Structure 1
C-alpha cells in the first residue's frame, strides 16, 4: 500500500468564512512513492519457482533474497533434486546451513499439525448443540432484535438531511464523468445542509458538515463565495479539510472518527473516493468491502452520513467505477451529467434504499463571482449554445465591446488590430457566426446576439471547471496498479 500523509486533526480545518484559503495553504494530497514491499508480501515460494524454471534462476533468486530464510524448507520440498547442489551452495552463501533448513522443515510440520487440530476443534464447536451462559445471552439478544410482522411498525423511519434526497446516518455516493460538475453539485447540497437553507425547494434538517477536499482545494474559496453570492447567505457550519484521509489506514480512520465525534458533524464528504483510498484496488470486491465496513463504523459511532464522490468508467455516465460491491452497499446514489451546450447539469437519483427515488432534476449553471453555481431560475439553459472555435470566440468578445450598437466589418477588423488584407477573413467569420445565431446583422452593422453572449459565458464557465481535470481515467488506473476498470 502506498505511503501517504496521515490525517492530522491538529492541522487547522478551514471553514467557509476563512478568506485566507489560498492555493498554497490548502494544496492537497501529499503522497509519497510506495515503499518497497517486504519479502512476506512478494509472491509465494511456489509462485516464484514458477518464474524460475532452471537451477541458475533459482540460485539467483536466493541470492537476491526473494525467499525468506524461513521458507527455504518449502523450497527444498518443491525444487527438483538435480538442482540441490547449486541450491546448497547458495544457501551456504546466504548463511543458512542445510541443518537449519531441515529444522525449519520439522517446525513447519509441527505448526501445520497444531493448526489442523485447532481447525478440528473449531469445527466441532460449531456443530455442537450445547450452550454456555454467554451463548444464552447472545440468543436472547437475537430474539429481542427479531421482528414479527406485527412489530415491523416499530422500525424507525428514514430521517433526512435533505427531505426525500439525502438521508441521515447513511452511505451516499455521487458518480459522474470528467468535467460533469459533480463536485459543484455535492458542495451545493452540503452547503444547504450546513446552513439549513432549503435545497431548491426541498426542506433541510441542518447539520455540521466536514468536507474532505482530497483532490485539491485550490478552487474551494471561489466556489464557496459563488454559492454565497447567489444564495445571499454565508456558508456556515461547513468545514473543509484540504488533504485526503486514507480510509484504508486504520490509524487515520480512527483519528477521523474521533474528530467527527468531537466536532458533532452530521455529514462527512470524501471528494473523491479514489484519493481517499490510495493503494486500494477499486475493482476488488474484498478490498472495497473493507472500505465500506470502515465507513459503516464511522456511521455507527457518530450517526453521520458518509458521502463518496466518485468517477464513472469510460462509456458509462451513471455507474460508479470499480467493484459492484459498493453499489450494493450504498443507501443513496446519484449520477451527475453536464450539458455544455444547454448550460445545465442534471442530477439523477439512481438508488434510494429506504424511499422513493427523487425525480431527475436539471439546474442552470451560472456565473457567480469568480466561479459558478447552480440555480433553478430556468433562464440560462433555455436553448442550446452552438460550439465555437477559439478564433470565433475572439470575434465574439471583440464584438461584445460594441454592445447593442454593433460594428461594421471594418470597425471590427480595426478593433482586433487586423490588417486590411484580412478583410475577407473577417467577413467570412462574421458570416459563420451569423449562421449559428450568435451574431445578428442589420444593414452593414453586426451585433452580438443573446445566444452569442451565452457562448462567451459558457467558455468562462469552462475555465472554472477544475475539479474533474485532476484525476483522468488513465492516471487512476496507475494509482490502483490495474488495467481496464470499466
Structure 2
C-alpha cells in the first residue's frame, strides 16, 4: 500500500496510540509453591480478597483484630491457625474510637505475651474513609505505598461508602478498586461486612447487599449465632477449608482476652447437619431438573464428603432419590410419614 506510514506510537491522524495491555505466556508465570499458599494457614490465603461476615455482636471486629495482630506478630490466629507470612498490617475501623481499638488489641496481645510497642500494626486515624471518593482512594493508595502492609483490614463496608449496597454497578466499582490495590501492592484484603437478618442456605449468600460481594471474594469467614454460641464457617475459592468450628471469646482478669475455636459438640453438629439438610432440599426443590452432587456442592459451598453424607442420609430418609441426571425430590405420595423419618448423621 502506498502513502505515508504513521510514526511509531501514533495513529495516522497523529494521535498517540493507546498503550497495549501487558501480557505473558502462561508458562512464564511463576508457579507458587504449596508452602507459600497461605497468609494464615487454613483461614486466609496469600494475596486473597475476602469477607468476614456476620450479624451484629458476633465478634466480627474481635476476629478482624485477632487476624491483624497475628499477621503483625507471627502468632497463631484464633489460638489455632499458624501464620505463614508475617509483616505490617494496615487497619481502618470506622465504628470504633482509637482508644477502643487499642484496648481490644492490647487485651488480645496480652493473652499472647506480646506488647503493642513492637508491632507493625498501623491504624488509620482519619475520621472518615470513603472508598467511593477519588481523593480518599488516592490517600489510601499513598498510605499503602508507604507502609507496604501484608494485610489491609477494613471494618465495616457499610461505613466506607455512600452508595446503595444493592446497586451492582456501584458495589462493583468499590470492590474493583480493592482488587486493584490487592494486585498492585501484593497484599491481602479483609473486608468486614454485615449479613442480612434472614439466613440463607449458605452463609456467603447471606451477605447484605449486592451478590457481587460474594462473587468477588477469594476467602470467606462467616460468623453465625447459635443457641450455644458462635459458629465459624470458612470457605476458599482455591483451597480446602476446615470444618465449621465453635468460636468463643475468653476474657480473664488483668485485661486479657483470647478468641478460641474448638470442634463442634454433638448438639452443635446435629444443628449444623440439620441446617445443611434443609438447604440441600431447598436447592433441589428450586431446580427445574435433577441436580448433580457436584452442582450442590458448589452452590452450598461445602466439602464433597459432607454433601455426600447428607445426600445419603436424605436418600435413606426417603426425602430425595437419585436419577440418571442427578438428585430429585421424591414424589410426595412416596415420602415417609413423620414416624418413619430417620435421624440425620453428623455432617
Normalised by the shorter chain, which TM-score bucket? Answer: 0.5 to 0.7
2:211 corresponds in structure 1 to 324
Q: 1:296: how far off?
A: 1.7
Would you say 1:275 and 2:275 are equivalent positions? no
Classify 1:377/1:283 alpha carbon distance in 2 versus 1 (closer, same or farther; 3 Å). Answer: closer
CA contact (8 A) 1:223 1:371 kept: no
Give the distance between the partners of 2:45 and 2:262, measured in 1 at CA. 26
Give the distance between the partners of 1:251 and 1:153, measured in 2 at CA. 34
1:224 corresponds in structure 2 to 105
Give the distance between the partners of 1:371 and 1:357, measured in 2 at CA. 29
TM-score by length of 1: 0.45
Superposition pairs of residues 193-232 of structure 1, within 5 angstroms: 193-199=71-77, 200-204=79-83, 205-217=85-97, 218-232=99-113
TM-score by length of 2: 0.62
Classify 1:357/1:377 alpha carbon distance in 2 versus 1 (closer, same or farther; 3 Å). Answer: closer
Q: 1:291: how far off?
A: 0.5
Give the distance between the partners of 1:365 and 1:327, measured in 2 at CA. 27
1:358 corresponds in structure 2 to 242
Query: Could you give the per-residue CA deviations for residues 203-248 of structure 1, whole angstroms, max 9, x where no partner exists?
Result: 2121211110111225222212221222222242212224431110
CA contact (8 A) 2:156 2:193 kept: yes
Superposition pairs of residues 91-110 of structure 1, within 5 angstroms: none
Classify 1:382/1:219 alpha carbon distance in 2 versus 1 (closer, same or farther; 3 Å). Answer: farther
CA contact (8 A) 2:223 2:233 kept: yes
CA contact (8 A) 1:161 1:207 kept: no
Q: 1:177: how far off?
A: 0.6
In structure 2, list runs of 5 or more residues that go unmatched: 1-15, 269-347
1:156 corresponds in structure 2 to 32
Superposition pairs of residues 109-188 of structure 1, within 5 angstroms: 138=20, 142=23, 144-145=24-25, 147=26, 151=27, 154-156=30-32, 159-188=37-66
1:249 corresponds in structure 2 to 133
Classify 1:138/1:298 alpha carbon distance in 2 versus 1 (closer, same or farther; 3 Å). Answer: closer
Give the distance between the partners of 1:165 and 1:251, measured in 2 at CA. 33
Query: Could you give the per-residue CA deviations for residues 164-215 of structure 1, whole angstroms, max 9, x where no partner exists?
Result: 3212222111110111111111111111111011223332121211110111
As a proportion of its length, which structure holds more strand?
A: 2
CA contact (8 A) 2:246 2:262 kept: no
CA contact (8 A) 1:226 1:372 kept: yes
Give the distance between the partners of 1:338 and 1:370, measured in 2 at CA. 25
CA contact (8 A) 1:215 1:244 kept: no
Q: 1:253: how far off?
A: 0.7
Q: 1:155: how far off?
A: 4.1
CA contact (8 A) 1:345 1:365 kept: no
Classify 1:228/1:154 alpha carbon distance in 2 versus 1 (closer, same or farther; 3 Å). Answer: closer
Classify 1:251/1:181 alpha carbon distance in 2 versus 1 (closer, same or farther; 3 Å). Answer: same
Superposition pairs of residues 280-429 of structure 1, within 5 angstroms: 280-316=163-199, 318=203, 319-339=206-226, 342=228, 344-349=229-234, 351-368=235-252, 369-370=254-255, 372-376=257-261
Q: 1:154: how far off?
A: 4.9
Give the distance between the partners of 1:215 and 1:254, measured in 2 at CA. 22
As a proportion of its length, which structure holds more helix?
A: 1
Query: Could you give the per-residue CA deviations for residues 76-99 of structure 1, whole angstroms, max 9, x where no partner exists?
Result: xxxxxxxxxxxxxxxxxxxxxxxx
Query: Could you give the per-residue CA deviations for residues 408-456 of structure 1, whole angstroms, max 9, x where no partner exists?
Result: xxxxxxxxxxxxxxxxxxxxxxxxxxxxxxxxxxxxxxxxxxxxxxxxx
Aligned residues: 239
Give the distance between the partners of 1:163 and 1:251, measured in 2 at CA. 35
Query: Could you give the per-residue CA deviations for residues 87-131 of structure 1, whole angstroms, max 9, x where no partner exists?
Result: xxxxxxxxxxxxxxxxxxxxxxxxxxxxxxxxxxxxxxxxxxxxx
Q: 1:330: how far off?
A: 0.9
Give the distance between the partners of 1:337 and 1:346, measured in 2 at CA. 5
1:32 corresponds in structure 2 to none
Give the distance between the partners of 1:376 and 1:285, measured in 2 at CA. 35
